[in-house]
């Protein structure tokens, strides 16, 4: 297929975004999680790394929400206002759903296995991120990176992009996948 290399690279790149979201939040690797004010990195930071008691979603719930759905997401994140500012205490199930979906979407897209399901999950998360943090986008009245990623993810499903630079071709030949094409 013409452009197969580019579609494979697009799939892997977007998959890496999801996988990295999981890794950085799980281990506080110093990108959005674990970086101190002086710029140094506190790997596995207590109270920041998910595996060390931190909530991977509390920061977004407390500081990044905006738009018409802000109240809904604040309720989900159990946000309360204090004299020091907003404090989020999301339920454990919210953190688990977020982290497991970031991991599984990332692995699916990077490997090319179950690309349709992974891409659909990615589209759902892009819609959640858009409605939670980007209505209306800062630099364009309608389109931001979440919308573009969702469109690319839809394209990945339309062309079965797991076959390109991935294990999707092998995966599609498995009898269970042939019986249940949704697993492609």
Classify each residue of 132-166 as buried b or exposed e, where b means 16 or more C-beta atoms within 10 Å of its C-beta.
bbbeeeeeeeeebebbebbebbeebbeebbbbbbb
**Domain map of the chain by residue range?**
4-183
Q: Which of the four pLDDT bands, split at 50, 70 and 90, describes residue 136?
A: confident
Kindly tell me if the per-residue pLDDT of 36 is higher than 80.
no
pLDDT at res. 79 = 96
pLDDT at res. 139 = 81
pLDDT at res. 174 = 96
Q: pTM to 2 decimals?
A: 0.92
Comparing 9-18, 92-101, 115-124, 159-168, the range with the smallest average pLDDT is: 159-168
């Amino acid at each position: 297929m013409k452009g197969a290399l580019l579609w494979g690279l697009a799939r892997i790149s977007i998959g890496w975004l999801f996988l990295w979201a999981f890794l950085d939040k799980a281990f506080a690797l110093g990108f959005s999680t674990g970086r101190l004010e002086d710029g140094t990195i506190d790997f596995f930071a207590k109270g920041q790394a998910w595996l060390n008691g931190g909530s991977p979603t509390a920061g977004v719930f407390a500081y990044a929400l905006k738009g018409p759905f802000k109240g809904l997401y604040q309720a989900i994140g159990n946000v309360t206002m204090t004299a020091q500012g907003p404090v989020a205490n999301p339920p454990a199930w919210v953190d688990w759903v977020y982290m497991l979906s970031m991991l599984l979407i990332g692995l699916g897209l990077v490997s090319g296995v179950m690309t349709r399901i992974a891409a659909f999950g990615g589209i759902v998360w892009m819609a959640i991120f858009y409605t939670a943090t980007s209505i209306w986008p800062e630099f364009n009245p309608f389109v931001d990176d979440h919308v573009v990623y969702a469109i690319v993810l839809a394209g990945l499903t339309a062309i079965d992009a797991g076959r390109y630079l991935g294990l999707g071709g092998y995966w599609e030949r498995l009898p269970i996948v042939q019986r249940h094409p949704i697993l492609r």
